[in-house]
């Protein structure tokens, strides 16, 4: 469960890198009902905050790095971005952007990559803790890492964040799904999963790992109808997953992937 009382290694922010910020904001507004506004004194087309019922759910910004593809980036809470960046390098990952301050006293972030190519970030908060709503319709409820090497990914993130894991078999002999539990949190704080996918099947990332967000929906089919009518793409589903809910793998008009999930009734 993703919450807003952040603990080390838990998801605390996410943003979308988009080739056209205004177009992306319009799309997600139609799909999830988000309202957008410039962050601070950013100009139009710059970093843009997304709100749901006046609470911040994340942000959209322009593509920032050469060769970037449109994608969502998940940020994990840390008390010390410098120490986490060093841990990433020591564990075989890469620091794409060293820790840097944001705003006047919002916090510090670093952009990082795991050894299998999965991009993520960390956030060391000051005045700005992170997103203000989670685990509901239109907000982040889960994160997933698709990677060609699950065991290696588990070792890496366990070293960097202290996550513990629990494997569960997928129905029909479909492999193993690894649940992620932050250090200092029980299983009620599970925030995501790792799924091993052959590199040959990770075609849109050239075989590299990637994280994607799972957004909640009160009605998966209605959300998908809104998505496809506004230029999004349905990659899988909607389908019912026993004990999980009704879900679909989607992409926005620029190709950034995410999942829509209506959780199963408790």
Q: What is the mean pLDDT of residues 2-28?
A: 96
pLDDT the model gives residue 239: 92
- Packing angle of the helix pair 81-90, 150-161 (nearest 10 deg): 150
Distance between CA 1 and CA 6 in Å, rounded? 11
Fold entry, domain 11-125: 2,3-Dihydroxybiphenyl 1,2-Dioxygenase; domain 1 (3.10.180)
Report whether pLDDT(241) > 90.
no
Domain ranges of the chain: 11-125, 140-263
Q: Do domains 11-125 and 140-263 have the same CATH topology?
A: yes
Report whether pLDDT(45) > 80.
no
Which residues pair with residue 241 across a beta bridge?
A: 245
Which residues pair with residue 259 across a beta bridge?
A: 214, 249
Which residues pair with residue 224 across a beta bridge?
A: none
Distance between CA 4 and CA 13 in Å, rounded? 10
pTM: 0.96
- The helix or strand, by DSSP H or E, that contains position 22, with its residue range, turns out to be helix 21-32
- Mean pLDDT, all residues of the chain: 94
Cis peptide bond N-terminal to 12, omega within 30? no
pLDDT the model gives residue 114: 98
pLDDT the model gives residue 266: 66
CB-based contact 231:187 (threshold 8 Å): no
Q: What is the mean pLDDT of residues 45-70?
A: 90
pLDDT the model gives residue 98: 97
Tell me which of 172 and 148 has the higher pLDDT: 148
Fold entry, domain 140-263: 2,3-Dihydroxybiphenyl 1,2-Dioxygenase; domain 1 (3.10.180)
Distance between CA 178 and CA 180 in Å, rounded? 7
pLDDT the model gives residue 218: 96
Report whether pLDDT(67) > 80.
no
CB-based contact 264:30 (threshold 8 Å): no
pLDDT-derived band at 146, boundaries 50, 70, 90? very high
Q: What is the mean pLDDT of residues 10-39?
A: 96
Distance between CA 198 and CA 14 in Å, rounded? 26
CB-based contact 215:249 (threshold 8 Å): no
Sign (positive or negative) of CA dihedral 212, 213, 219, 223? negative
């Amino acid at each position: 469960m993703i919450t807003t009382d952040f603990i080390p290694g838990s998801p605390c922010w996410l943003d979308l890198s988009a080739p056209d910020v205004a177009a992306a904001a319009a799309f997600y507004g139609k799909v999830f009902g988000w309202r957008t506004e410039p962050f601070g004194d950013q100009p139009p087309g710059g970093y843009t905050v997304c709100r749901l019922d006046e609470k911040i759910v994340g942000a959209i910004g322009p593509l920032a790095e050469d060769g970037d593809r449109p994608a969502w980036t998940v940020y994990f809470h840390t008390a010390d971005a410098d120490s986490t960046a060093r841990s990433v390098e020591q564990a075989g990952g890469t620091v794409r952007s060293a820790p840097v301050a944001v705003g006047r006293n919002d916090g510090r972030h670093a952009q990082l990559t795991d050894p299998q190519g999965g991009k993520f970030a960390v956030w060391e908060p000051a005045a700005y803790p992170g997103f203000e709503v989670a685990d509901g319709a239109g907000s982040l409820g889960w994160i997933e890492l698709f990677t060609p090497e699950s065991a290696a990914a588990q070792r890496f993130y366990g070293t960097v964040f202290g996550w513990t894991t629990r494997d569960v078999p997928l129905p029909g002999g479909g492999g193993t799904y690894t649940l992620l539990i932050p250090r200092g949190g029980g299983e009620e704080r599970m925030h995501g999963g790792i799924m091993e996918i052959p590199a040959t099947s990770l075609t849109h990332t050239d075989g590299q790992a990637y994280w994607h967000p799972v957004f909640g929906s009160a009605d998966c089919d209605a959300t998908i109808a809104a998505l496809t009518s506004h230029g999004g793409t349905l990659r899988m589903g909607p389908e019912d997953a026993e004990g999980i809910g009704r879900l679909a793998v989607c992409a926005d008009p620029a190709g950034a992937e995410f999942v829509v999930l209506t959780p199963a009734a408790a």
